[in-house]
Amino acid sequence: MARRIARATGVIVLSAVLVTLSTACAMWGNGGMDHQTAQTSNLKLQRESALRFRSEWPNVEAIRFTREGDYAGFGASWRVNAIATVEGTAYQVIISPDLSAAFITGAMPQASPIGSTPAPLTLIYSDGTSEVVP
């Protein structure tokens, strides 16, 4: 009987530890970074994500970030929601510096001809600032 109680207690403690570890990102937010550091990091990752998107879709004209971006969960890559305008058509996308874009509505733009020279890209960041990347 004592072994069963000890085993049950061990299982409960282990379960509690696993749940705590798997939700650590949500519980501690930006990992102790102050607001300015977190915002600077987000803007840098937004820019890197836009450049990754443009490497796959050189005919993109503008990207407007609709959120700051974050990690989807324990061990997941950073990603951000945006509206990408490709040849005059707006597409809702989730982009990342590490992964290919996900087109939320399923509609995707036509592929650019191989060797296309990227056009200047207007970036509108989640904080409202903008820049044009040549």
| Same domain, residue pair 128 and 71 | yes
The residues pairing with 130 across neighbouring beta strands, listed in sequence order, are: 124
CA–CA gap between residue 84 and residue 65 (Å, rounded): 9
| Same domain, residue pair 52 and 110 | yes
| Same domain, residue pair 94 and 61 | yes
| Same domain, residue pair 2 and 63 | no
DSSP state of 83: E
Structural domain boundaries, residue 129 = 34-133
| Same domain, residue pair 47 and 89 | yes
Number of structural domains in the chain: 2
Beta strands in 34-120 (DSSP E): 60-65, 70-71, 78-86, 89-95, 102-103
| Same domain, residue pair 80 and 27 | no
**Tens-digit pLDDT profile for residues 31-82:** 445 666 688 899 999 999 999 999 999 999 999 999 999 998 888 899 999 9
This prediction has a pTM of 0.73
| Same domain, residue pair 66 and 23 | no
| Same domain, residue pair 43 and 102 | yes
Query: 77: how many CB neighbours lie within 10 A of its CB?
Result: 10
Residue 47 three-state SS: helix
> Which has more pLDDT, 5 or 80?
80
| Same domain, residue pair 104 and 115 | yes
Among 5-9, 26-30, 62-66, 80-84, the minimum mean pLDDT is found in 26-30
| Same domain, residue pair 59 and 108 | yes
| Same domain, residue pair 71 and 94 | yes
Residue 41 three-state SS: helix
